[in-house]
Amino acid sequence: MADVLHVGIAGLGNVGTGVVKLLQQNADLISRRAGRPIVATAVSARDRSRNRGVSLDGIDWVDDAAELATRDNVDVVVELIGGSDGPALTLARRTLAAGKPFVTANKAMLAHHGLELAEAAEKAGLPLKYEAAVAGGIPVIKGVSEGAAANLITRVYGLMNGTCNYILSRMEAERLDFATVLADAQALGFAEADPSFDIDGIDTAHKLSILAALAFGARIDFASVACTGIRAIASADIAQAAALGFRIKLVGLAEVQDGALFQRVHPALVPLDHPVATTMGSLNAVVLEGDFVGRLFFQGRGAGEGPTASAVVADLIDIARSDVRPPFVMPVADLEALPRASAGDRRGRYYLRLNVADRAGVLAELTAALRDTGVSIESLVQRGTSADGGAMVVMVTHEAREEDVLASLDRMAASPSVVGQPVMMHILDF
Amino acid sequence: MADVLHVGIAGLGNVGTGVVKLLQQNADLISRRAGRPIVATAVSARDRSRNRGVSLDGIDWVDDAAELATRDNVDVVVELIGGSDGPALTLARRTLAAGKPFVTANKAMLAHHGLELAEAAEKAGLPLKYEAAVAGGIPVIKGVSEGAAANLITRVYGLMNGTCNYILSRMEAERLDFATVLADAQALGFAEADPSFDIDGIDTAHKLSILAALAFGARIDFASVACTGIRAIASADIAQAAALGFRIKLVGLAEVQDGALFQRVHPALVPLDHPVATTMGSLNAVVLEGDFVGRLFFQGRGAGEGPTASAVVADLIDIARSDVRPPFVMPVADLEALPRASAGDRRGRYYLRLNVADRAGVLAELTAALRDTGVSIESLVQRGTSADGGAMVVMVTHEAREEDVLASLDRMAASPSVVGQPVMMHILDF
């Protein structure tokens, strides 16, 4: 049996605690699969006194996380502090500078500084691994970068935020509105006190930008991810979508078309027989499309102590096995800086929902707006909704250019008959 | 850029041709992801004159496949001949003896000789890789052996035969009986002229025994896989299962319980909201359950030129990256020879279907048989089926011991009121 791999862990929240627990509980198994024992030897966290339900006996406690990078009894550093900059980034830089492999679950840091860190790792011939950063316990980083490595990948998409999927699933199952479910999710600890990173799609955008870089051999371009969250979704939308054969999901989608990179996070209508539509509760799912393999679908737990620890320790096992590859499959210098694709030229079907005053001529006004912008309608439902005499109009367009649909929506929104902001959602037709 | 990896390919059927095509079409991409070019330099196949729609210019043609093992311009051999013994096995042994990495899609050979070959590979420090052998293009070998490597895996199961899944999907969609769909599938080339390896579950059993070894750190034990195929499934079973909220699938299932290995291939009733139930047509799916990661689900194309080639070339990229691990995750010497678990002690719910003479007292007879063996009934449907006055009785039991259900079935089958062989299927309750 080869030498022990000594692990320093920065951050002892749920995930850090889970990693310590996993390394202890499955020590035997891990050592047989890794070819050598993997042992936590040092940890760093803010609160030393908290009872975490796991034994830290024999593990050094380090006050300054950055110290893990240079500590003698640490061969590899696991960063679970979070945050795109600050102590996490300092630790990453110092660890690689000290010539040690680095493992992280930090999607925000990778989305912003992944290329810098990957370059440092490459130059030093060190592993920089981050399976836990995207879709938690699901081995999608490995799936995309190794499992599908032979393929020209043209599209990658999925549900990468368990909080959003949980909220949308409960809105549907219990016919509740967004605010009610969010408040309940917060009370239960399934949503953060400040939930905006999750529900506004930023967390999904971080993960998507990492996946897109891997899938397309492109430089990470977080800034170009167009992002719409789930705040505007009404339970009426969910019911209407269901009646039309769809389920609303917060989808992160990246494609390369004509050499340009398209990245978007948005609520989308997914056909009920699509595996993404049947991914419920806090589960995550990732789909990739390759030219030889076709569609590959991965589903599992995207967050939480156990699943995230599982991904972190899988990375440690790869490191113990001396599997060193460029962090983004190919050297950073070979990654392409792809131009941003125009959304306006995209073609697809759209779901439109408008709240309108229930009076004569409204429908004529709406349909004229569509006609004048060249958008044709596949189906239309009008339904009385409120005690004040308002009505709801839901339309599904035939395939149309996105720019034209937006133009028609602008016209409709300007009408005095339309109350509030119209909602437009994409239909996932693949 | 490091040295070219020269590949010798034995077998130029669909998959072999796909590998040549993939290495050519995505040569640039593959070389960037692998860190070096991967080039087919020699091939061997029976029919030299056949037009395969791919250029073999510059590739040496070798008459005796075994010669690839020792050829100077071959660094790694890909075996796509098939068959558990014969030329495939000879080639595998010679390749490893010659000190070269070996890649195969041959589940039958691995199920029978995998441990011998793995030992030879280990001793020589060589990769022996077989991603394409289980579930085609889906990276489940990597998922189980690397992605989930930190977990104690307690169960692995799935749909690993596209022909069976295609037949069952069409029986449901078109309300056709088994024989009709099989004949049509044969005419369309979706089923072999001799379909027994597929429809009797043997192909699934090969794959299952490989997955189980990987998942549980156990020695491959193909001989202990209990195997029931799909021949006995009537379209009435499919309709009844649907009415009860299930879909019938040919499931390969392996578990470790109390240190004993349970392996079975059998048609099972899968709840309609289970991702395995929504895996239709020729798609494959694999589920694993780990103690930290929970349930992981993989779905994609399990066969065909493109998907299988994708898996083969993924293995070649790993080899180009010098990723050498024991073929069954841990050294063969460490794999446990697990005792075979008794099926009789298993508890579960069961679907029973009997064709009976439609006369007074039949139901009393059947329900007495169940009572006398201690099996209680959750639901029962009797339906007139045939012009000759026969009826069909379908029962779902409460959770019961398998042995008791079999005993009750024996009693029922002995009754003169029961026509033909009763059908018993397991309900997948996880």
Say whether B30 and A149 touch across the interface (CB within 8 A): yes
Mean pLDDT score of chain A: 95
Looking at the domain B140-301, which fold is it?
Answer: Dihydrodipicolinate Reductase; domain 2 (3.30.360)
> Residue B276: closest CA among chain A residues belongs to which residue?
A275
Contacts of B150 in chain A (CB under 8 A): 22, 26, 30, 33, 309-310, 313-314, 316-317
Specify the pLDDT at position A309. Answer: 98
- C-beta atoms of B137 and A296 within 8 A: yes
Residue B334 forms contact with A (CB below 8 Å): yes
Tell me the HSE value of A163 on the side-chain side, using a 13 A CA sphere. Answer: 27
Backbone angles phi, psi at B269, to 5 degrees: -90, 120
Instruction: State mean pLDDT over A312-334.
Output: 96
Q: How far is CA A10 from CA A126, A365, B85, in A?
A: 19, 60, 52
Interval B94-103: pLDDT, tens? 999 999 999 9
- pLDDT tens sequence across B253-273: 999 999 999 999 999 999 999
Q: Is A188 helix (H, G, I), strand (E, B) or coil?
A: helix
Q: Give B-chain residues touching A330 at CB under 8 angstroms.
A: 32-33, 35
Annotated active-site residue in A21, A100, A107, A207: A207
Contact B293 A273 (CB under 8 A): no
Domain with CATH 3.30.70.260 in chain A: 347-427
pLDDT band at A358 (very low <50, low <70, confident <90, very high): confident
User: Closest approach of chain B CAs to the CA of A92, in angstroms?
Assistant: 23
Of the partner residues B292, B314, B330, the one whose CB lies closest to the CB of residue A307: B292
**A207 part of the active site:** yes
Mean of pLDDT values over A361-366: 91
CATH of domain A140-300: 3.30.360.10
Over 90: is that where the pLDDT of A317 sits? yes
Rounded-to-integer distance, Cα A15 and Cα B363, Å = 56
Search chain A and give the residue with CA nearest B333: A32
pLDDT tens, residue by residue, A184-241: 999 998 888 899 999 999 999 999 999 999 999 999 999 999 999 999 999 999 999 9
Kindly give the residue spans of alpha helices, DSSP state H, lying in B175-253: 178-188, 196-199, 202-216, 235-243
Q: Do B293 and A310 touch (CB under 8 A)?
A: yes
Three-state secondary-structure class, residue B140: helix
B290 CA: distance to closest CA in chain A (Å): 9
Residue to test with chain A: of B7, B131, B146, most A Cβ within 10 A: B146
From CA B141, how far away is CA A193, in angstroms rounded?
40
Q: Enumerate residues 6+ apart whose C-beta is below 8 A from A397.
A: A349, A350, A352, A370, A375, A376, A377, A378, A405
Whether A7 contacts chain B with CB within 8 A: no
Beta pairing, strands B76-79 & B5-10: parallel
Q: What is the 3-state secondary structure (H, E, C) of B281-292?
A: CCEEEEEEEECC
DSSP designation for A3: P
- Residue A150: pLDDT band (50, 70, 90) is very high
Q: What dotted CATH number matches A5-133?
A: 3.40.50.720
Spell out which residues of chain B touch residue A334, defining contact as CB-CB under 8 Å.
Answer: 32
The complex's ipTM?
0.96
Q: Is B300 on the interface with A (CB under 8 A)?
A: yes
Q: Give the containing element (helix H, strand E) for B371.
A: helix B362-372
Q: How far is residue B5 CA from its own chain's centroid?
A: 31
Q: Considering only CB atoms, which chain B residues are within 8 Å of A25?
A: 291
Distance CA A179, CA A234 (A): 10
> From the CA of B141, how many Å to the nearest CA of chain A?
9
Helices A107-124 and A202-216 pack at an angle, to 10 degrees, of 30
Q: What is the tens place of the pLDDT at every residue in B176-193?
A: 999 999 999 999 988 888
Contact (Cβ atoms closer than 8 angstroms) between residue B57 and residue B40: no
Compute the distance between CA of residue B110 and CA of residue B100 in angstroms, rounded to an integer. 18
Are the Cβ atoms of A317 and B22 closer than 8 angstroms? no
Partner residue facing A330 (CB), from B32, B149, B295: B32
Query: Which residues of chain A have a CB within 8 Å of the CB of B137?
Result: 292-294, 296
Whether chain A has a CB inside 8 Å of the CB on B18: the answer is yes
Residue B404: pLDDT over 80: yes
Q: Is B2 on the interface with A (CB under 8 A)?
A: no
The average confidence (pLDDT) of chain B is 95
Lowest mean pLDDT among A101-105, A143-147, B52-56, B131-135: B52-56
For A241-261, the pLDDT digits (tens) are 999 999 999 999 999 999 999
Give pLDDT, residue B385. 65
Mean pLDDT score, B207-218: 98
Write out the E strands in A18-147.
38-44, 60-61, 76-79, 102-104, 128-129
Task: For Cα atoms B177, B182, B186, give the angle at the middle one, nearest 5 degrees.
Answer: 155
Q: Is the pLDDT of residue A1 over 60?
A: no
Q: State the DSSP code for B138.
A: S
Q: How confident is the model at residue B50 (pLDDT cuts 50, 70, 90)?
A: confident
Task: Check if the beta carbon of residue B390 is closer than 8 Å to that of residue B358.
Answer: yes
Nearest CA in chain A to B142: A147
Note whether A110 and A210 are within 8 A (CB).
Answer: yes
Flag whether the pTM goes above 0.90.
yes
Banded model confidence at residue B389, pLDDT cuts 50, 70, 90: confident
In whole angstroms, give the CA distance from residue A253 to residue A276.
Answer: 12
Assigned token pair, A146? 């190794």
CATH 3.30.360.10 maps onto chain A at 140-300
State whether residue A315 sits within 8 Å of chain B by CB: no
Beta carbon pairs, A and B, within 8 Å? 190
B347-362 pLDDT, tens digit each: 999 999 999 998 888 9
What is the least distance, in Å, from the CA of A358 to any CA of chain B?
Answer: 39
Q: Does A282 touch chain B (CB under 8 A)?
A: no
Say yes or no for a CB contact (<8 Å) between A298 and B293: no
* CB-based contact, B317 to chain A, within 8 Å: yes
Q: Which chain A residues are Cβ-neighbours of B311 within 8 angstroms?
A: 293
pLDDT of residue A387: 66
CA–CA separation, B216 and A230 (whole Å): 41
Q: Is A317 on the interface with B (CB under 8 A)?
A: yes
* Span(s) in chain B for CATH 3.40.50.720: 5-133
B37 touches A at CB < 8 Å: no
Alpha-helical segments (H) within A130-282: 140-142, 162-174, 178-188, 196-199, 202-216, 235-243
CA dist B278 and A276 (Å) reads 11
What's the CATH class of domain B347-427? alpha beta
